[in-house]
Amino acid sequence: MLRYLRGASGVWLRYNLDKPVLEGLTNSNMLIDVDSSRSTFGYVMTYVGGAVSWKSRLQRVVALSTTEVEYMVVVEADKEIIWMRELIGELGIKHDHFLLHFDY
């Protein structure tokens, strides 16, 4: 444990308070689990430059196309970013916009 702490002493999260933007990044892979034919997806949400929420898992249903896989991950990330936006608002933090990045 001490060796890990010594080696990680230069690692930290950096938050940029000048740019209070809630930002989401998504990714998915078609047919990763050959046995169940399900795809994997994941997202990470950042606020002021640091990760505040993330998720990675197999999708619940079998997708029939890569477009459907991407659509499913965007919907999941959208739900999370809306929840995060509401939480930040309830904490009294004013923010103007949010971004969601995805590929397809």
Position 19 in a domain: yes
Is residue 54 in some structural domain? yes
Q: What is the pLDDT of residue 83?
A: 93
**Structural domain contains residue 88:** yes
Q: Is the pTM of this model over 0.85?
A: no
Give the three-state DSSP class for 41: strand
Q: Which residues of the chain fall short of a pLDDT of 50?
A: none
Q: Return mean pLDDT, the chain.
A: 80
CA distances from 1 to 4, 5, 10, 88, 94 (A): 5, 6, 16, 34, 40
Give the per-residue pLDDT at 38. Answer: 77
Residue 26 lies in a domain: yes
Residue 6 lies in a domain: no
The answer to whether position 91 is within a domain reads: yes
Task: Examine residue 22 and state whether it is found in any structural domain, yes or no.
Answer: yes
- Could you tell me the CA-to-CA distances from 61 to 28, 53, 70 in Å, in that order? 14, 23, 13
Domain carrying residue 45: 14-101
pLDDT for residue 51: 87
Instruction: Answer yes or no: is 27 within a domain.
Output: yes
Q: How many domains does the chain have?
A: 1
pLDDT at 15: 66
CA 43 to chain centre: 3
